Amino acid sequence: MDSLKEDLKKHIIEQLNLEDLTVSDIDDDALLFSADGIGLDSIDALELIVLMEKYYGIQVTNPDEGKVAFLSINTMADYIEKKRA
């Protein structure tokens, strides 16, 4: 699970062009879409949908599902685990 979270952070940094951030800058439970987290927005949500398909083979077709799944690194990792199970 921890390596999944590490990988996820690496992919997010690459996919969202956040080169100035390192894996250690992103907390597992930080709210990604909050200004206190890393302040992602609806455009970044599009990138996360691309990321889910590209690296994990998961198609997020329901936007509401994405909203819940993309809250934090923890929720994204849970979501991936569940989809894989």
Nearer to another protein, 1 or 46 (CB): 46
Work out whether 54 is an interface residue with another protein (CB under 8 A): yes
- Cα gap 37→29, rounded to integer Å: 9
Nearer to another protein, 40 or 77 (CB): 40
Work out whether 85 is an interface residue with another protein (CB under 8 A): no
CB of 82 to another protein, least distance (A): 25
DSSP 31: -
Q: Residue 25: which of 81, 73, 79 has the closest Cα?
A: 73
Burial of 4 (0-12, 13-18, 19+ CB in 10 A): middle
Q: Which of 6, 7, 18, 28 binds another protein (CB under 8 A)?
A: 18
Q: Which of 50, 57, 59, 67 binds another protein (CB under 8 A)?
A: 50
Work out whether 71 is an interface residue with another protein (CB under 8 A): no
Q: Residue 52: which of 19, 20, 23, 83 has the closest Cα?
A: 83
